[in-house]
Amino acid sequence: MRAALLIQRWYRQYAARLEMRRRCTWNIFQSIEYSGQQDHIKLYNFFGYLMDHFTSASSQRNLVSQMFRESDMFQDVEWERQFCYKDIEVPDVYGGPHLSFPLTVSIVTELVDAFKNKQKLHARYVLQLLGKTWTLLRLMPNISHVCSCKHTEITICGDLHGHLEDLLLVFYKNGFPSAETPYVFNGDFVDRGKESMEILLVLFAFLLLYPLDVHLNRGNHEDHIVNLRYGFTKEVLGKYPVHGKMILKLLQKIFSCLPLATVIDQKVLILHGGISDKTDLNLIAKLDRRRFVSALRPLTRREADGDDEDVSAGRRRVQSLTHGLTGQSRQELPRHSVHSGSGLTGRSRQELHSGSGLTGRSRQELLSGSGLTGRSRQELHSGSGLTGRSRQELHSGSGLTGRSVDEELRERRRLAGLSLSSDSQLGSAEVLESDAEEWKQIVDVLWSDPMSQNGCVPNEVRGGGCYWGPDVTQEVLDRHKLKLLIRSHECKQEGYEFCHNGRVLTIFSASNYYDVGSNRGAYIRLGPDLIPHFKQFQASRSTRELTLRQSVGRTERSALQALRMQLFTHTSALIREFQEYDPQCTGVISVKHWAEAVEKVLRLSLPWRVLRAQLVTSTRDGTLNYQHWLNQLSVIQTHTEIANTSLLETLYKHHSNLESIFRMIDTDHSGLISLEEFHQTWRLLSSHLQTVISDEAIAELADSIDFNKDGSIDINEFMEAFRLVEQCRGVGEDEPAPQ
Amino acid sequence: MADKYNAETIITETQKRISNAFDVFDHESNKTVDVREIGTIIRSLGCFPSEAELHDVIAELEEEEPTGFVRYEKFLPTVTKILLERKFRPIPEDLLLQAFEVLDQQKRGHLEPEELTKYLTQEGEPFTQEEMDEMLSAAVDPDKNVILYKDFVSMMTFDDSR
């Protein structure tokens, strides 16, 4: 029937356009997420810079050593005394859940219910629970071996990232953990979502209840430095202002005690990130995992150490420690595509290493685009992964070409930034050599991503681990006589995804990760046949009520807002670029030029022309007034009168880094830093970034932020000052859900 | 002279659009897309092919030995031609409305979900269950549980008239 045909034809076109929008939205989120992760690398390099450049005379030294003080001198027994909960009283007015030990099923069920009702567990019980968890985890091996023979099916969950609702949804659909329903949770329990603490408490409670049937693998977010940046630290301190520090300290211990992998029936390997060509489960099984507290913390400089230059050069090359040495073929380096199955053919070296979401730009351009010049470009180059050419430069610069592989490795390890507990700092070169190897094994397991191309190369986007190809999967799995690798670490639209000819399976359990409607979560049921079965879900009632069109629209709006913020942080650069196209200074440029300029400045490979309609609402005859557009883009809501807009812009661009640094300075977790500390930090950061910000400007800024003039800055207030508010809400609020 | 300039500009602009749309689906950034995404890409560029017409286009775009991928070098000229020729023209709103009215034999002004489902999953180029469910979720008035097709059509065409 022709009528039916017509309707079908029309609807399919409509659905295709919707799909296009959804895909663009997804790409935006991923581009921004991955380019944001490069901040991590910058932060790491900044720490290295700090270490190298403070002088003993200045008070800067105190600041820095304060930041990196690692008082790990106590033995476990002494720590236990520190973490003692017994003196903490639970007041009568406390209306939350109570715990008593040993735990029972009903106590834990009540705990879950309490969290469902948004209650908070008292700090005393938290510390008690965490203490017992720590005791238990210390007894566990690095790799848990599970047999499916006695169970019907094992359930495997991926990243949860503080989404308690998703965990509860899984329990609802699949049942609580028990001897009959064993679970593996594959890392990244915390950060981003707002209920990371509750997730940990629930998982640990079940672990204590069923230690043989609940298996937790460590993820890259089970790391206190990552937590500083991605929200978990903030959450804990907000929920537990008095005991938060203690809780965080204990969690630091617990995270390093988490097992690294689980193996089912000797055939299925489950770990958080992935593998590299060097992955050796026997090695991993034997190392002391507790020594590796954080992937991101450089080793404090030993007084006895030699040459400044070596130390700093070595540290900056830490990224390259994650993989390989010279001699590796550099022809086919992957580009991390936005769908994470990266890989390409035949691109020239020049175009490579641009990180996720960028096309054809060398990393060099990327860095220069973000306002860095000359010397620092080189530094960051070396720190964050290199094109083949500049790696060469670095090597020849520090006189390392021509060394044998072993020598080179030894040299790097000697200088490498590792995060080991202080007692392992001393010791022979041999100790350090095995340290570096073990560190690499762990970082690879926690941070790597698969790519579609063969080979194994450093993962610069993440700043740690590798990209590994199908040939590596085959080699490693076969070598260990394994059938399947299950990992997490990457968000997938359907909650799960196979790759490498079905031998690698990604499972992700945080639905709506980027925003409501962005993706489903999933979990796996694995029976004795070891064939995975998937269950998908999506939390949030409001999503179910929204039509596809509405949920796409909603996610799209979030993505666009995030994009507008990105545009804002590049205002000055954009203006300069626009002016290139507008020599007569009319204030107007064509839409075509707008797209070209934006692409060039932002260096996010997105379909700008497709997005243009959403980002620029007032065009006329294919032209727009760019100044007007930029003004309209957003307004920074701030209590302070900061006239200097370029300072503001710079601050905003680096605000997440700033926040991480502030939280590190604030070692007593009071939420306050002194004006002097603020000043010092900012001075250091700006000299590292080679931006010109006068001391007066910084002092003024610091002063204007200190609202009550008591000489200290409340970190939260400072960060709050940088919330962007859309000036004109052109697109309306979400449409009401149909009844 | 002026005409020639315009023609060239139009071609370049068209090709830029095609390139952008292609890139969205080029996951590995190697200038190829999965053949199964071709329909989405072409439709998102404003074309309204039927499934049969789409199959013909795909056949043209595929390699002699089908790899499951379509390369940009082939995609660009073929699709440029399609766009410039305005093949697969859009369906005007009134025509669409007429189509619904034809299905509404009793002239009630609405359609039952079951009816519409029957037509669209059995006639013409049938919808999959998933496609049908998606359409119903957008089309069915939740209070009355019927499809008020007049409202539906105007809502959908307004929404996307960018």
> CA nearest A315: which of A251, A380, A373, A232?
A380
Task: Tally the C-alpha atoms within 13 A of residue A499's C-alpha that lie toward its C-beta.
Answer: 26
pLDDT at B49 over 70: yes
Q: Please list the alpha-helical segments (H only) found in chain B.
A: 2-25, 38-44, 51-61, 72-84, 93-103, 113-122, 129-139, 149-159
- Name the amino acid, one letter, at A384: S
Distance CA(A55)–CA(A383), nearest Å, equals 22
Residues in chain A closer than 8 A to B97 (CB atoms): none
Angle, CA A100 vertex, CA A95 and CA A102 arms, to 5°: 155
> Among A6, A20, A592, whose Cβ lies nearest the Cβ of B99?
A6
> CA nearest B156: which of A610, A550, A543?
A550
- Name the amino acid, one letter, at A73: M
Distance CA(A663)–CA(A672), nearest Å, equals 9
**Best residue of B8, B25, B28, B96 to probe chain A, by most A CBs closer than 10 Å:** B28
Provide the ipTM. Answer: 0.92
> What distance separates the 2 farthest-apart alpha carbons in chain B?
60
Q: What are phi and psi of B39, to 5 degrees?
A: -55, -50
- Name the amino acid, one letter, at A410: R
Distance CA(A246)–CA(A196), nearest Å, equals 17
Using DSSP bridges, classify how beta strands A456-458 and A466-468 pair: parallel, antiparallel or unpaired: antiparallel
Q: State residue A53's pLDDT score.
A: 55
**A221 among known catalytic residues:** yes
- Name the amino acid, one letter, at A282: N
Using DSSP bridges, classify how beta strands A712-714 and A672-674 pair: parallel, antiparallel or unpaired: antiparallel
> CA nearest A445: which of A677, A294, A275, A297?
A275
Across chain A, which has 739 residues, the per-10-residue mean pLDDT values are 87 87 76 62 59 48 52 58 78 89 91 93 94 92 85 89 94 91 96 94 96 94 86 90 88 94 95 95 92 65 31 33 30 30 28 30 30 31 31 30 40 40 40 76 93 86 83 96 95 92 95 82 92 87 55 70 76 87 87 86 72 73 82 52 53 65 67 73 67 68 64 66 38 33
Angstrom distances, CA of residue A584 to CA of A175, A255, A476, A574, A664: 69, 60, 62, 17, 49
Distance CA(B153)–CA(B139), nearest Å, equals 9
Q: State residue A43's pLDDT score.
A: 59
Q: What is the pLDDT of residues B73-93, one digit of tens each?
A: 999 999 999 998 888 888 888
Residue B59 Cα, gap to closest chain A Cα (Å): 19
Distance CA(A735)–CA(B158), nearest Å, equals 15
Residue B84 Cα, gap to closest chain A Cα (Å): 18
Distance CA(B119)–CA(B126), nearest Å, equals 8
Q: State residue A513's pLDDT score.
A: 87
**Chain A residue with minimal CA distance to B101?**
A3
Q: How many residues are there in chain B?
A: 162
Interface contact A20-B100, CB threshold 8 A: no
Give the count of beta carbons closer than 10 Å to the beta carbon of residue A621: 8
Residue A40 Cα, gap to closest chain B Cα (Å): 24
Using DSSP bridges, classify how beta strands A268-270 and A484-487 pair: parallel, antiparallel or unpaired: parallel
Residues in chain A closer than 8 A to B162 (CB atoms): 613
Q: How many residues are there in chain A?
A: 739
Mean pLDDT of the B50-59 span? 92
Sequential DSSP letters for A570-585: THHHHHHHHHHH-TT-
> What distance separates the 2 farthest-apart alpha carbons in chain A?
87
Q: Is the pTM of this model over 0.90?
A: no
**Omega of the bond leading into A102 within 30 degrees of 0 (cis):** yes
Q: State residue A394's pLDDT score.
A: 30
Angle, CA A709 vertex, CA A703 and CA A711 arms, to 5°: 75
Which of A122, A163, A221, A336 does the annotation list as catalytic? A221
- Name the amino acid, one letter, at A584: Q
> CA nearest A472: which of A444, A450, A443?
A450
Q: What is the pLDDT of residues B14-34, one digit of tens each?
A: 888 898 889 888 877 778 888
Sequential DSSP letters for A296-349: T-PPPPPTT---HHHHHHHHHTHHHHTS--TTS--S------TTS-B--SS--G
Angle at which helices A695-705 and A675-689 pack, to 10 degrees?
140
Residues in chain A closer than 8 A to B104 (CB atoms): none
Cα–chain-centroid distance for residue B113? Answer: 23
pLDDT at B54 over 90: yes
Q: State residue A269's pLDDT score.
A: 97
Q: State residue A592's pLDDT score.
A: 81
Taking phi over 0 as left and psi of -120 to 50 as alpha, with beta for the rest, B31 belongs to: left
The two three-digit tokens of residue A183, written as one number: 């679970």
> CA nearest A146: which of A117, A95, A186?
A186
Q: What are phi and psi of B102, to 5 degrees?
A: -60, -40
